[in-house]
Structure 1
Amino acid sequence: MLVFAKIKSIQEYLKSLKKGTSIGFVPTMGALHKGHLSLIEQAKKENDVVVVSIFVNPTQFDKKEDLINYPKTIDQDLALLKKIKCDFVFTPTAKEIYSNNVKSQQFNFDGLEYQMEGKFREGHFDGVGTIVKRFFEIIAPTNAYFGEKDFQQLQIIRKMVQKTHLPIKVIGCAIYRETDGLAMSSRNSRLTKEHRKAAPFIYKILKQVKNKFGIKNALEITKWVENEFKKQPLLKLEYFEIANEETLQPIKNKDFKQNYRAFIAVFADKIRLIDNISL
């Protein structure tokens, strides 16, 4: 496994690979878990070589304390990547990526950015678009892999690739869950014992939403979800929404030719957890 911290070094090495070598790319912010490893395993199966980036991107945090508190476990991450025989790791500094201008580019994602997360995290998706576009330009991957836990982010990256005409296939990978159903996230490690015990309730509710979707309307389901969370003293619902998978617009009238997904964001004390399920 080769580790690069400089843009020039990784670009030179990737350019030296045999012509036609397919490159799979998995961007991460470190604090790696089995969810990340499942993306890397898929990338390994579908490409000649795999590049994993570890970079806690400052421009996608709307709250400074979230950036400060984000878990940083670089030594463990590198040991884990070595164990699963990752080919290349890119670990740049913020200065390497942004020079002295740590600022987001402005994007138009055709309205995808104003739904769900966009309503609660100002500037977040400009930050995501900025760093992913930058990495795509540096690595020039054939395929890039993203987890469906951040489904809105996945759709936004697909839109960015389409609008900037980058020759990269963006692949969404199924949500990797703990045995009790909680979606794997680097933030889970920051949950207290009590909140960790309560958190699987989120997925339990989503599974019930999936069952109700065929027989009840979206408004009834939303009211039911809100009432269920009122009974949970350790979990605070930030939003629940049923939306069109492609446009992310909230459902108005159910159209069985369309694909829908339920999205949820919940606070377990100060730790914000998100999840979703295909309906």
Structure 2
Amino acid sequence: MLIARSIADLRQALAPYRHPAFVPTMGNLHDGHIALMRLAKPLGDVTVASIFVNRLQFLPHEDFDSYPRTWEADCAQLQAVGCDLLFAPREADLYPQPQTVKLHPDPALADRLEGQFRPGFFVGVGTVVLKLFACVLGKTGGTAVFGKKDYQQLMVIRQMVQQLALPIEIVAGETCRAADGLALSSRNGFLSLAERQEAVALPLALQQLARRWREARNPGPALEQQALDALRARGWQPDYLTVCRRADLQPATAQDAPGTLVALGAARLATTRLIDNLEF
């Protein structure tokens, strides 16, 4: 596996190839990331991963400095899964000047859910992903693989690619889960043993919300409020538990067809904020 630190070295390494398959990450890799790498492997003539902890998507009070960085373990996992090229720029390589040019996604999609509780988050995400696309896929186009666990992020990136006419195919990987159903996440490592056992309450709350939505004669916000109250009663601090249309992440109604909805949730357990979703 080749490792490129600078954009120039990256482009030189990619010069012989016509269709890269790219998996962007912030490192601290787990089985979910590795599943995305396996999904990407047959989709291009070279498999590329990136590791970059993007300061632009962290709010001032969030965990940028403490975000886990596990370089040697990450490289070993990428090597084992057959990654051909790792792009691991330093901050000065990717942002040699203050990044004053930024991507502002469609507010109708990006300013609710995660965007409501983390203002500016998707500006940071969209900006770094667009810049990584320019570095890795800018010459030939290619394929980029993202996980469904970050459902709204996937939607924002798909819309960006479509509306900017980028020659990139976005492929979605299913959420990888632990045996008890908890979605794999780098932030799970912040949980204590007791918190880790409790964390499964979030996917269970989404399952229950989806089941009640399907069974209700007139589903609506009351069901979402019940789900929020139940999670608060367990000691969580939920930001949202809601049902949306998959197509545009707008609030679902009783008239939406079965098989077109997704339940999404974000909640803080002690000091760790977890997100999850369930298509139904």
> 2:229: which partner in 1?
227
Q: State how far apart, in whole Å, the 2-side matches of 1:65 and 1:209 are.
A: 29
Asked if 1:42 corresponds to 2:35, the answer is: no
Q: State how far apart, in whole Å, the 1-side matches of 2:103 and 2:89 are.
A: 22
Q: State how far apart, in whole Å, the 2-side matches of 1:138 and 1:131 are.
A: 10
> 1:275: which partner in 2?
276
TM-score, normalised relative to structure 2: 0.94
Asked if 1:124 corresponds to 2:121, the answer is: yes
2:176 counterpart letter in structure 1:
Y
Instruction: Look up the SS of the partner of 1:205 in the other structure.
Output: helix
2:3 counterpart letter in structure 1:
V
Please identify runs of 4+ aligned residues in structure 1 that moved more than 4 A: none
Residues 255 and 65 (structure 1), Cα distance of their counterparts in 2 relative to 1, 3 Å cut? closer
The worse-fitting range, judged by mean Cα deviation, of 251-260 and 75-84 is 251-260
> 1:266: which partner in 2?
267
Q: State how far apart, in whole Å, the 2-side matches of 1:227 and 1:254 are.
A: 25
Instruction: Tell me the CA shift for residue 102 of structure 1.
Output: 4.1
1:78 to 75, 99, 116: 75
Query: Is the contact made by 1:29 and 1:55 (CA closer than 8 Å) also made in structure 2?
Result: yes
Query: Is the contact made by 2:19 and 2:44 (CA closer than 8 Å) also made in structure 1?
Result: yes
Q: State how far apart, in whole Å, the 1-side matches of 2:54 and 2:33 are.
A: 17
Asked if 1:95 corresponds to 2:92, the answer is: yes
Asked if 1:3 corresponds to 2:42, the answer is: no
Residues 175 and 255 (structure 1), Cα distance of their counterparts in 2 relative to 1, 3 Å cut? same
> 1:237: which partner in 2?
238
Q: State how far apart, in whole Å, the 1-side matches of 2:105 and 2:182 are.
A: 32
Query: Deviation string for 1:84-138 (max 9, x for gaps)?
Result: 2210000001111111214560414251111100101111101001000001111
Asked if 1:247 corresponds to 2:244, the answer is: no
Give 1:211-222 correspondences, 5 Å limit: 211-216=211-216, 217-222=219-224
Instruction: Tell me the CA shift for residue 256 of structure 1.
Output: 1.1
Q: CA RMSD in A?
A: 1.5
Give 1:42-191 correspondences, 5 Å limit: 42-103=39-100, 105-109=102-106, 111-140=108-137, 141-191=141-191
Residues 171 and 92 (structure 1), Cα distance of their counterparts in 2 relative to 1, 3 Å cut? same
Query: Deviation string for 1:199-233 (max 9, x for gaps)?
Result: 01111121222222222212232122023213302
Query: Is the contact made by 2:206 and 2:241 (CA closer than 8 Å) also made in structure 1?
Result: no
Instruction: Tell me the CA shift for residue 150 of structure 1.
Output: 0.5
Instruction: Look up the SS of the partner of 2:178 in the other structure.
Output: coil
Query: Is the contact made by 2:32 and 2:184 (CA closer than 8 Å) also made in structure 1?
Result: yes
Which segments of 5 or more consecutive residues in structure 1 lack a partner in the other structure? none
Query: Is the contact made by 1:25 and 1:144 (CA closer than 8 Å) also made in structure 2?
Result: yes
Instruction: Tell me the CA shift for residue 15 of structure 1.
Output: 1.4
Q: State how far apart, in whole Å, the 1-side matches of 2:26 and 2:228 are.
A: 32
TM-score, normalised relative to structure 1: 0.94
Q: State how far apart, in whole Å, the 1-side matches of 2:196 and 2:100 are.
A: 34
Which segments of 5 or more consecutive residues in structure 2 lack a partner in the other structure? none
The worse-fitting range, judged by mean Cα deviation, of 235-244 and 130-139 is 235-244
Instruction: Look up the SS of the partner of 2:64 in the other structure.
Output: helix
Instruction: Look up the SS of the partner of 1:213 in the other structure.
Output: helix
